[in-house]
Amino acid sequence: MSLDSMHDLLLEELRDLYNAEQQLVKTLPTIADKVCTPSLREAFESHYRETEEHVVRLEQIFTRLGEKPTGKKCKGMEGLLDEGEDMLSEKGSDTVRDAGIISAAQRVEHYEIAGYGSAISFAQLLGHLDIVALLEETLAEEQAADEKLSMIAEEEVNQHAMAAGTT
């Protein structure tokens, strides 16, 4: 794709996000199954359902722009998910591994937050206020997921991981 306009750049960002969200839809159930902390499992299951909605919203955005919903391979998300899968396969304390999984998951959330923030900025410049509203809804959910992961880490998982490391 040639980036000759802000519209082209918006489409590029949307395609990246679309593929990133599709990769997450495939991966989140596996992560939820492998964590040992119940509140963390519930957070991943909840975010999986939200992520399915993120895909639907992106499809709506493509339709509103008169474009076919397609994704461009998101290498950034692929790399982040590979690192997360490495963490899932580590040996040792389950709670320490859960703390590592939270860290990996927050890197994913931050990647998405950056992408949605950029897409919002581009859509605003182009006057696509209906699209901005959809993107802002997803951005708010990504930020909430990040905050929930922080809360679970700080109030539960990290404390258990510390205790596991001292025995």
Task: Place 2 in a pLDDT band, splitting at 50, 70 and 90.
Answer: confident
Q: Would you state the pLDDT for residue 71?
A: 77
- pLDDT tens digit sequence for 55-73: 999 999 999 999 999 878 9
Where does the pLDDT of residue 127 fall: very low under 50, low under 70, confident under 90, or very high at 90 and above? very high
pLDDT by residue (tens digit) across 94-108? 999 999 999 999 999
Which residue is it, tokens 């998910």?
81
CATH topology of domain 6-165: Ferritin (1.20.1260)
- Domain definitions of the chain by residue range: 6-165
Residue 163 has pLDDT above 70, yes or no: yes
Cα angle: 119, vertex 123, 126; to 5 degrees: 145
